[in-house]
């Protein structure tokens, strides 16, 4: 019987400076991501209002659904303080 390999961890693949770089939090980038998601949602609604058809409806639904998922992911990251730095 063979032993199973040890689980791979981030330190096995990345150096400490690389890990620190990936862990940086930027409030400006976080705000930009939220604004981008809402801009795409508003743009998709505007697209359908300007050119109402079955094709633009399907496209708008797909775009809005994708950005709703993106907002849910950003909300999750926000609960872990990965979207903006902690106050104070």
Q: Which domain holds residue 31?
A: 26-79
Residue 12 in domain: no
Residue 51 in domain: yes
Query: Distance between CA 67 and CA 41 in Å, rounded?
Result: 7
> CB-based contacts of 59: which residues, under 8 Å, 6+ apart?
44, 47, 48
Residue 85 in domain: no
24-72 pLDDT, tens per residue?
A: 999 999 999 999 999 999 999 999 999 999 999 999 999 999 999 999 9
Q: How many domains does the chain have?
A: 1
Residue 60 in domain: yes
pTM of the model: 0.78
Where b means 16+ CB within 10 Å and e means fewer, 46-69 reads: eebeeeeeeeeeeebeebbeebee
pLDDT band at 1 (very low <50, low <70, confident <90, very high): low
């Amino acid at each position: 019987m063979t032993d199973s390999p040890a689980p791979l961890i981030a330190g096995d693949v990345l150096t400490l400076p690389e890990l620190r770089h990936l862990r940086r939090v930027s409030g400006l980038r976080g705000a930009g991501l939220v604004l981008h998601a809402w801009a795409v949602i508003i743009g998709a609604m505007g697209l359908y209002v300007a050119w109402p058809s079955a094709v633009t409806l399907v496209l708008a639904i797909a775009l809005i659904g994708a950005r709703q998922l993106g907002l849910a992911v950003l909300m999750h990251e926000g609960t872990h303080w990965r979207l903006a730095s902690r106050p104070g």
